[in-house]
Amino acid sequence: MRFRGFLLGILLRCYPADFRRRHGDELKAMARDVLAEGDGSLRRLRVWAGLVLDAVTQGAALRLGTARSAMGAPGPWLVDGKQAARALLRRPGFTLLCVATLGVGIGAVTVAFSLFYSVILRPLPFPEANRLVGLWHAAPGLRPDDINQSPASYFLYRENNRVFDDLGLWDQGEVTVTGLDRPERVTRLLVTGGLLPTLGFPVRLGRAFLPEDDRPGAEATTILTHPYWLRRFGGDAGVIGRTLDLDGEPHEIIGVLHEGFLFTDPALLTPARFDRSAVMNGDFSYQIIARLGSGVSMAEAHADLERLLPRLATDYDGHLTPTMLSEAEFRPVVRTLREDYAGDREAPLWMLLGVVSGVLLIACANVGNLFLARAESRQPEMATRTAMGASGWSVIRTLLAESMLLALLAGAAGLLLAVWGLKGLVAYGPEILREIPALEVSLPVVTATLAISALSGIFFALLTFIRLTGRDLAGTLVPGFRDAGGGPGRARVRDGLVVTQVALAAVLLVGSGLMVRSFQAMRAVDPGFVAPDELITVRLSFAERTTPGAEQVALKHRAVLDALEAIPGIASAGASTSVTMDGRDSHSNIYFEAFPVTVGELPAVHRVKFIAGSYAETMGIPVVAGRTLTRSDLEDRRRAVVVSEDLALRYWGRPAEALGQRLGFEPGQWWEIVGVTGPVHDEGLHRETVPIVYFPMVGARAERDPYAQRTMTHVLRTEQPSALLPLIREAIWSVDADLPLTDLGTHAKVVRRSLGQTAFAMFLLLAAAATALLLGTVGVYSVLSYLVSQRTREIGVRMALGADRGAVGRLILSRGTALVGSGMAIGLVASATLASFAGATLFGVRTLDPLTYATVGTGLALVATAAVWLPARRAARIDPIEALRWE
């Protein structure tokens, strides 16, 4: 019996508290009666089941106030929803303004979040990707940047580590594909057998690489990536077993990767087939990815690599000695794959997110103010309801329904804006955006948007409710007792919102101002060459099979140059392994005759380029001293080089002093410096110039060590780039009909790209600032107007009592300027603080740039004055008699 009572008590708790209070006893009594009627345990069990079901369903229905009540009447929420919709429709101006304002803010945040998500948050397409790490080296004594890996370090780490499940080495390059309808140059990922298993990325057709495929001398094989397979082979499953010629060497296609291989986005993969016995320890041109064993920390991995690193110098042949390792302070670096991938894109994206959040906050503040204003006018209604017995909860429900409906509408509008906006950005915005795979408004982003909308809805409802219940509602029913809109609490909230808006607008304006200055500074940088839109570049590569031998290569490149120079309209032509800012870099040890390196000491490492033809002249790089490399230098295989001015300055103080000095790849094999050319910003406009040594395209590092550069970028200067493109193609194919051309176009694109990121940031900030300014102005204006209209009566009284119009106007004016002034002050101080964090994205401008701050301050003041002056004028124009009558 007692147990039954206990159970019934539990069932009772299904019901909401006040229902329990009123009917609890009756419920229990009836339940007991029902139970008493039954006999037999089966029957009793059925009765209990019925009671439980009844309690749960009715209790839930009561708690939720669900749509159909026991009476058949629509439940409270549905009623509120319909009423909310009607209320919003009754005031279309208010509704539209709120939805538009909030929608813009939400849309902007959605776009920014999509970007952010795609680059930083979205999981990488590999299983347990958080265990994937990239392995690097750091050698501060040698270079400030990271150093890559070598085949030697690959074998060393792979065979001896205790912390990784597996690791794989890779390098991205290009390869010429022939054997299909037309030759093509594509990106190729060189991998060791361990890479695909380390990533855990599956094969869709055929098989992955086996250890046998990765042995030196093994039959050449290749795996295609999914997009390449679709594009070139039409998704034909019969590709397995076919042969592709890569750089002239036949490779058997053994597999096709699954979709979504977002790893450097190559067209195909080939095994490295290193000869373990012949690898040199100093060839740091590759990269390694490893998978941490489960439960292994980064610190443990680091420690294990440190343990192994010294063996790199002892167990393998090459330039690297133990002394060098310690002198250069060689040590391993382990970074998560995510860090490597997102890398330097993080900072601008965080900034973007911050900026648009600022805009959203301003929009919320605006709408919040509108809500507050409207709340004032609903006081009588709410007071009446409360007086007639409506609970606080029902008032909240009404407000919540209205503001949630509004917020969700705004969210939907924002989503729509975001989808269009993102498409537009990808199509017309900076190139960088097109490189981000799958940039779209995805499901997680939509969820976030809905959450933001819901939160803002709750925020507005709360705001209104607090305002309404902040004072005695009943008091407002008495006519004439109407609060002149100036109770201290509510004025503070409203004022606070206005000040916040102005402050945020100031921050955004200063930010965009600084960006504009950065952009200007960057554009003013002399890249080191001239008129990039008159410079055509095209990349050509002669494969071993078609062009064996260094002599042949030199002849062919030379033939191409001759053919190109013969085209009328071409002012000059040249070639280089890497053109300024094209992202390719090649470094080498350089020994200087005048500065011998002592035993165990490390030689200098410098960027090298191999040139032919009139490279410097074509590029517009000025000759500072001496001469450039000539045709006869090349033909006679003379050991002559040209260096850039910054290199000459570094070693000899004056460019002219460098002439006649000697340097080389090896000590004893000297080349003579015959010229010094101007410095170039090889890494981009916002980075320092890079010292470069220009070697001739073909030569011999040592007596029996000839080299020839198979792949060169040919550059042509002409005033008519587009008109000559077909002639250029013809000229090249007249030398070699099978030669694929890549990257044929003007060099301007590359320069634009360097400016691109700053330009984009600038554009975004300007857009955000303009929106912020607009919203802020509207906010200030609406608040002050509202103030004037609320205090019309009071103003009328004052004027009737003799206050002159001027004084009234000045009152409003002073109130307004106080708000704006404090907003600006806070905003400017905040900008200065934030700008110090954004130092890296700024270029050539101080964080406290006086011009920017002064301009923003003045501009904002002017705009705000207008917003303040209009209501003040209205206040001054109030007719006291009208004002007093109006009640």
Partner 1 sequence: MSRGSDPTAQPLRPAVFHVLLALSKGDLHGLGIADEAETASAGALTLGPGTLYRSLAEMTACGLVAVSDHPPEGSDPRRKYYSITSEGRALLTLEAERLARVLDVARERDVLPEPA
Interface residues toward partner 1, by CB under 8 A: 14-15, 19, 22-23, 25-27, 29-31, 33-34, 50-51, 53-55, 57-59, 61-62, 69-74
Q: Least separation, in Å, of the C-beta of 406 and partner 1?
A: 26
For residue 164, what is the DSSP state? E
Q: Contact, 653 vs 716, CB < 8 A? A: no
Q: Considering beta carbons, is residue 25 or 329 the nearer one to partner 1? A: 25
Count of all residues that appear for the chain in the document: 887
Please provide residue 199's backbone torsions phi and psi, each rounded to the nearest 5 degrees: -70, -30
Closer CB to partner 1, 57 or 391, in the complex: 57
Of the candidates 176, 791, 232, 846, the one whose C-alpha atom is nearest the C-alpha of residue 544 is: 176
Nearer to partner 1, 15 or 117 (CB): 15
Say how far residue 216 (Cα) sits from the centre of its chain: 41
How does strand 221-224 pair with strand 268-271? antiparallel
CB of 378 to partner 1, least distance (A): 24
- Please report how the helices 151-160 and 298-308 are oriented relative to each other, as an axis angle in degrees rounded to 10: 110
Do 355 and 508 touch, CB atoms closer than 8 A?
yes
CB of 2 vs partner 1, minimal distance in Å? 19
Antiparallel, parallel or unpaired: β 287-292 and 698-700: unpaired
State the minimum distance, in angstroms, from the CB of residue 6 to partner 1. Answer: 17
Question: Minimum distance from CB of 477 to partner 1 (Å)?
Answer: 25
CA 146 to centroid of chain Cα atoms: 23
Contact (Cβ atoms closer than 8 angstroms) between residue 208 and residue 197: yes
CA dist 706 and 198 (Å) reads 38
C-beta closer to partner 1: residue 51 or 619: 51
Of 70 and 388, nearer to partner 1 (C-beta) is 70
DSSP 68: B
**Nearer Cβ to partner 1 (78/436):** 78
For residues 708-744, one letter each, b for 16 or more C-beta atoms within 10 angstroms of the residue's C-beta and e for the rest, the string is: bbbbbbbbbbbeebeebeebbeebbeebbeebbbbee
* Sign of the CA dihedral with 747 first, then 752, 753, and 755 last: positive
Nearest residue (CB) to partner 1, 62 versus 812: 62
CB of 386 to partner 1, least distance (A): 18
Least distance (Å) between residue 55 CB and partner 1 = 5
**In whole angstroms, how close is the CB of 405 to partner 1 at the nearest point?**
21
CB of 465 to partner 1, least distance (A): 25
- Structure tokens, 144: 């400030």
Both tokens of 148, joined, read 């890559």
Helix axis angle for 392-428 and 346-387, nearest 10°, is: 150
* 5 vs 839 by CB, closer to partner 1: 5
Cα separation, 292 vs 166, in Å, equals: 8
Handedness of CA 606, 611, 617, 623 (dihedral sign): positive
CB 63 to partner 1: min, Å: 11
Would you say 11 or 751 has its CB closer to partner 1?
A: 11
Query: What are the φ and ψ backbone dihedral angles of 563, each rounded to 5 degrees?
Result: -60, -40
Min dist CB 57 to partner 1, Å, is: 7
- Other CB atoms within 10 Å distance of the CB of residue 218: 14
| Cβ neighbours of 660 (radius 10 Å) | 10
Check if the beta carbon of residue 563 is closer than 8 Å to that of residue 735: yes
What is the smallest separation between the CB atom of 26 and partner 1, expressed in angstroms? 5
Alpha helices (runs of H) in 791-849, residue ranges in sequence order: 792-800, 805-837
CB atoms within 10 A of CB 239: 19
Helical H segments across 575-698, by residue range = 615-619, 631-635, 645-652, 655-658
* Nearest to partner 1 of 31, 883 (CB atom): 31
By C-beta, is 59 or 699 nearer to partner 1?
59
| Comparison of 38 and 141: residue with beta carbon closer to partner 1 | 38
Nearer to partner 1, 73 or 280 (CB): 73
CB burial class (10 A; 0-12, 13-18, 19+) of residue 537? buried
Q: What does the alpha-carbon distance between residue 627 and residue 619 come to, in Å, rounded to a whole number?
A: 15
Closest CA to 348 of 864, 759, 829, 795: 759
Instruction: Choose between 86 and 276: whose C-beta lies nearer to partner 1.
Output: 86
855: helix, strand or coil: helix
Q: How far is the CB of 389 from partner 1 (least distance, A)?
A: 11
CB nearer to partner 1: pick between 65 and 348: 65
Distance in Å, CB of 397 to partner 1, minimum: 17
CB of 42 to partner 1, least distance (A): 17
